[in-house]
Every structure is written in structure tokens, then in C-alpha cells.
Amino acid sequence: MGEKNGREGEAERLVDEHYADVLRYCRRHAPAGLAEDAAQETFLRFVRARSRYRERGRARAYLVTIARNVCADMARDRASSWAELPEALPGGGDPGEGDDGRDLASALARLPRSQREALELRYGEGLAVGEVGAVLGMSRFAASRAISSALEALRADLGVSKGERGDV
């Protein structure tokens, strides 16, 4: 019984630590209105596959991999595709910001989905390059190349030279 309580405590700790990250990912990728269901399904699948998971400090990457699969399954079930980024952002934001956010959103929308997802995992989810590769089913080198290509495409699309701005 002590082992069961230890495993349950570990599962609760992982949910507490990573639920917000998984839910945020699901809000971007699950079909409309199903983000919470997708996040819950992610943790259910994690608990069911617990015997195959070995704690190596990569729980977040493992959970995002499961969330990615759950969202794809839900999209297939609904016969819909992954939501694309909007061409323009609604509303104006801060008056002094100009159209930078709109331009960036448009530039991101023009990237191939694999590059856009690599950027999201690396910078939006804060995963290491190797973890990005694991989530996307590619080598660390391929993930690094996808991220670099995406950043270079964004720079070219936005007309920004490599040293001009630190955020792209």
C-alpha cells in the first residue's frame, strides 16, 4: 500500500506541476471547446502509461507529447484540422506598439506547421531542443535545424537582420 500511495503522490505532484502547461498547449491545438477535455485525457493516458515512463526530469516533454497526440486524435475524430494562427490579431493592443504583433502573427502563419510547432515548443513551452525533437518525433539535430530555419524565415519575412532585434 505504501508503494501505491507513493505513486499516487508522484502523479499528483506531476499534475500540480504541469497541468497549466498542458492546458495551455491544448488550448492552442485542441478543437474548439475541447481544451479541458484534452488536458484531462492527456493525464489519463499518462497515468495508464505510467509503467513505461521512467522519471528522468523529462515529464513535461513526455506530457506535451501525449497532449499533441490527444489533440491530433480529437481533431481527426471531429474531421477538422489544427487551428491555424490568424492572419491578423483582433484588437489593437497598446497604441505605441504599432503593427509588430500583427506582422509577427502573419509571418508565423506563413511558416510550415512543423516549423511553427517547433518554435512554439521551444519558446512558448520552454522545452530544450532535444525535448522538442522527442515531442515531434525527430532527432535533436533535425529539431535544431527546424527551429533555425523557422527563425531565419521569420527574419526574412519581417525584414529583420540577424543582429537587429533580439526577439526574432
52, 82, 112 — which closes off a domain? 82
What is the reported pLDDT for 49? 77
Do 102 and 74 reside in the same domain of the chain? no
Do 9 and 58 reside in the same domain of the chain? yes
More confident residue, 138 or 100: 138
Question: Could you tell me which of 8, 128, 147 has the C-alpha nearest to residue 60?
Answer: 128
Which three cell numbers, joined as nine digits, stand for 108?
508565423
Residues 33-68 have pLDDT tens digits of 889 999 999 998 888 877 666 666 678 888 998 999
Do 16 and 71 reside in the same domain of the chain? yes
Q: How far apart are CA 90 and CA 151, in angstroms?
A: 24
50, 65, 82 — which closes off a domain? 82
Do 69 and 1 reside in the same domain of the chain? yes
Residues spanned by the domain of 166: 84-168
Do 71 and 28 reside in the same domain of the chain? yes
Do 45 and 10 reside in the same domain of the chain? yes
Do 52 and 130 reside in the same domain of the chain? no
Do 123 and 70 reside in the same domain of the chain? no
Do 44 and 5 reside in the same domain of the chain? yes
Residues 102-141 have pLDDT tens digits of 688 888 889 998 899 999 888 888 888 998 998 899 998 9
CATH number at residue 28: 1.10.1740
Do 74 and 97 reside in the same domain of the chain? no
3-state SS string for the chain: CHHHHHHHHHHHHHHHHHHHHHHHHHHHHCCCCCHHHHHHHHHHHHHHCHHHCCCCCCHHHHHHHHHHHHHHHHHHHCCCCCCCCCCCCCCCCCHHHCCHHHHHHHHHHHCCHHHHHHHHHHHHCCCCHHHHHHHHCCCHHHHHHHHHHHHHHHHHHHCCCCCCCCCC
Do 135 and 168 reside in the same domain of the chain? yes
What is the reported pLDDT for 160? 76
Q: How far apart are CA 130 and CA 92, in angstroms?
A: 37
Do 73 and 142 reside in the same domain of the chain? no
What is the reported pLDDT for 54? 64
53, 82, 111 — which closes off a domain? 82
CATH number at residue 112: 1.10.10.10
pLDDT of 158 strictly over 80: yes
What is the total count of domains within the chain? 2
The mean predicted confidence, pLDDT, of the chain is 77
